[in-house]
Structures are given as C-alpha cells and as structure tokens.
Amino acid sequence: MSKPYLTGHYTPQVDETTAYDLRVEGALPPELSGRLLRNGHNPKPGVTPTHWFKGSGMVHGIRLRAGRAEWYRNRWVHTPALDGAPYLTEHGPDLTASTAGTHIIEHAGRLLALCESNLPFELTADLETVGAYDFDGKLTEVMTAHPKQDPVTGELHFFSSSPFPPFLTYHVASTKGELLLSEQVPGATASLKHDFAITQGHVVFIEGTVTFDPTETSGIPYAWKDGQPARIGVMPRGRGGAAAIRWYDIEPGSMLHAANAYEDVEGRIVLEGPAVDRRGFQTSWNWWVGAPGRGSEPNSRSFERQWVIDPRTGTVSERNTDDLVVEFPTINEDLLGREHRYQYAVCFPDDRGMGNYGVVKYDRRTGGRQVRLVGDGRLPSEAVYVPAQGAGSEDEGYLLTVVSDLHADASQVLVLDASDLGAVPVATIHLPRRVTAGIHGSWVPDQD
C-alpha cells in the first residue's frame, strides 16, 4: 500500500527546475517585491521514508517584482541526509544530517532552512545550498523550526529541545545574527516541544502529552503518553529569565503550532493555537507514518484553543474557541507578541459538512469567522500575510497561499485580500508545475 504522504497532493516532485516570466491573472500590487518561499518534505525518487517528517526538504520559491512574477524554482536542501548519510554515527548525532524540510526563514540577511532536530541550513537567494549554519560556532545544539523574530527589537528568539538532558535551552540572536544569549531552562522534560511563543515581556513554552518514546519505530521517537503532564512554562525575557520560569498544569493535549501570545491589560498571558486530543493526535500520527486507523488528512480534530495564564493566582483557564478543523495559524507578524485582532489558518475537510479545504480568517474582537474554500481537489498552503503599502489597519494587506490542484495537476499562488476573503483574488500566479503539499514558509521582502 502506498504511503499517504507520497500520494495525492503529497506526491513528491522528482527534479529541480526553474521557470521565468510566470503568467499572472489580475494585477500584482507593486509592494509585493520579494520572494515567497515554502518548505516541505520531498524525498528523492526511489526513497520511501518511514515517516512524513523524514522526507528530505525541498524549498519552492516565487520571485515577485514590479508587478511581475519573475521566476519559480524548486531546490532540495542539499544536506548529508539527502544523500543517505545517517543522523546517528559512531561518534554520536550528526547535527548536519538534516531533512531541513519544516520551515524557511530570513534573519540577518541569511535564508535558513529549518528542522528542529538539526542545525539550520543556509541557502542563497536563488535557493542553492550554502551549508549548515551554527552562528559562528556558538550553536552546538539543534534549533527549533519555529523561531520568533520580535517585530520591535528585530532579535531572533529560538530554542533547542532534546529528549535527553538538558531538555530545553533558550537562545537569542541579534539583528546581525550574533548569538547573544543561551540559557538552559530548568524543570523541562522530554515532552515534544515543536513551537513556542513570545510576548513583550515573556517567553512561553508548551509541553504536551506527547513525549519521547524509544520504542517508536518510525524514526521520530515520540508518542502520546497519558503519564506525561501537559504544562505551559512562562519565563521573563532577558538574561537570567530561565531561572525564574514557572510551570502551569493544563489539560492533556498537544499543540504543534502557536498562533500568538500576549499580555492582556490585567497582566495575564494569553496563548492561542490549534490543539488535538488523544484521538486527534493518534489519527494524525497514523497518517504521518502510513499506519492503519488514520484519517484521510494529516490533521484531524485540531481545533483552535485559547489558554489564559494568571501569574497572580497560578491558574490557567482554557477552552476551544471554534469547531473548525484547522492548522497552520498565521497573523500579521507586526503584532507578534502583542494583542492581535485577526488570525488566519488552513481549514480541513471534516465529518460535519466541511467538504473542501480552505483559508479561514478569525476576528477575535467580534468572534466572527470568514471561510474561503478553494474548491474540489485543491489544497492551500499556510497563508502568509503581507501588509499593504501604508496599511492603516491590521488586516489591510494580502494573504499569499500556494494552491495544489489535483484535477489540473498544477498549482497557483493566490493573492487574497486579507480584509475580505470573499473578494475576487487580487492576483493569481500560474506556476509551471504542481507544488507538493508542504509545511511552512515565509515572505521575504527585498529590503531584507
């Protein structure tokens, strides 16, 4: 039986290609001058990984400038793992033997392809591989695939997580890419820590009920364990903050991706993001490894959730805020760590009438939501927000999403009006091939 992550929207591309002067319907706004980059797992022909996350990373890029879509290109991240080098060697883990297939970001003039169990890999502006990047030798651990760049200071916050002590280390890099701070975080466990959040004054870590399991045979040694406490850790930002971390117990569950976190007017920390229960995690895991009992999609029963942590009382209140199956939350990142009104996500088909994939917009002030379905046989990628020139409101801008179309065996980039998902697309960019469904990406404006 074919693995689900090698079929349909997830069928890997077999080569690297470049195309120029892409066809555009509508009009690309002139402020869209930069690169839309998207990473994902794409094993080489003949390779069947034991887990979706074990597939080698491939980055897809679309270069926009002066109202034109100048090029599309896709490139594998050429790490030792792409050519079969093992992660574990007789000398210990090889932190360069990476899939580098989870995310791609820009910081301090470098494009970094990320996978949380390895060092980042630097790419050129044309997506050619430069090599492993270790912050001038100062980073000797792995790097999360979900670093956070503070929109005010420009500093990059990230962490290293391990199933073995020290379980968690917090890092900060300067706007020039210099590693300024590395502190081990006390009290952490072997629980899976895929993402985290920052606020103006705090760093927020999430430990769910999924933890290290050496008996797991997929190559990703984690599993749901009822005995693993679910917790949120809150520590002050800045040097010495790790020593002051406080851990708060929460209900069992697992959250892969944080939408945002902030301090409210009462001094409480508000954290939001999609989360799954045990059943949701197991059906997703079965899809990721190609086991029986899986859902038809990689995300199942993943609902938007909110936690409110009150440091004064030491308590946490939590609730689901919507009943859509969603993942890949995004916001206007000018508000990262600050209270935001609007939030975006990809919504998935479910068993209650949502028959197609789409993009959803939440208005946290009114409690409303707007859903734009993309049509039968079509799958959107994580929607990346780009502000309009001179934007006067939080949602005055564009959502960029790469849509895979199985019926046409093709892909397009939809440029949607973030203020009204129901409006006709601002522009549609036709790509020269179908882009394999992937994970995360970024918009890198030319000034960066």
Tell me: pLDDT of 164 over 60.
Answer: yes
List the beta strands (DSSP E) in 174-289: 179-184, 196-198, 202-207, 210-212, 222-224, 231-236, 246-249, 260-263, 269-275
Taking the C-alpha atoms of residue 10 and residue 130, their distance in angstroms, rounded to an integer, is 27
Q: Which domains does the chain have, with CATH numbers?
A: 4-325 (2.130.10)
How do 156-161 and 168-173 pair as beta strands?
antiparallel
Q: Known binder of ligand: residue 257?
A: yes
pLDDT at 354: 63
List, for residues 12-53, the tens digit of each pLDDT value: 999 999 999 999 999 999 999 999 999 999 999 999 999 999
Average pLDDT over residues 72-96: 93
Tell me: pLDDT of 409 over 80.
Answer: yes
CA 158-331-32 angle, to 5 degrees, is 100
Q: Known binder of ligand: residue 91?
A: no
How do 210-212 and 222-224 pair as beta strands?
antiparallel
List, for residues 331-389, the tens digit of each pLDDT value: 999 999 999 999 999 999 876 656 789 999 999 999 999 999 999 999 999 999 999 99
Average pLDDT over residues 412-426: 98
List, for residues 99-141, the tens digit of each pLDDT value: 999 999 999 999 999 999 999 999 999 999 999 999 999 999 9
124: nearest Cα among 47, 59, 188, 203: 59
First and final C-alpha spacing in the chain: 45
Please, which pLDDT band fits residue 447 given cuts at 50, 70 and 90? confident
Tell me: pLDDT of 1 over 60.
Answer: no
Under a CB-based contact definition with an 8 Å cutoff, are residues 229 and 247 in contact? no
Residue 384 token pair: 């990346």
Tell me: pLDDT of 228 over 70.
Answer: yes
Q: Known binder of ligand: residue 146?
A: yes
160: nearest Cα among 139, 179, 137: 139
- State yes or no: cis peptide before 292, omega within 30 of 0: no
Helices (H), 330-407: none
List, for residues 378-395, the tens digit of each pLDDT value: 999 999 999 999 999 999
Taking the C-alpha atoms of residue 321 and residue 363, their distance in angstroms, rounded to an integer, is 11
Under a CB-based contact definition with an 8 Å cutoff, are residues 257 and 276 in contact? no
167: nearest Cα among 186, 152, 194: 186
Q: Known binder of ligand: residue 440?
A: yes
Summary mean pLDDT of the chain: 96
User: Who's near 168: CB < 8 A, 6+ residues apart?
Assistant: 159, 160, 161, 162, 184, 185, 188, 193, 205
List, for residues 277-321, the tens digit of each pLDDT value: 999 999 999 999 999 877 667 767 899 999 999 999 999 999 999
Instruction: Report the predicted TM-score, pTM, of the whole model to 2 decimal places.
Output: 0.96
Taking the C-alpha atoms of residue 156 and residue 139, their distance in angstroms, rounded to an integer, is 14
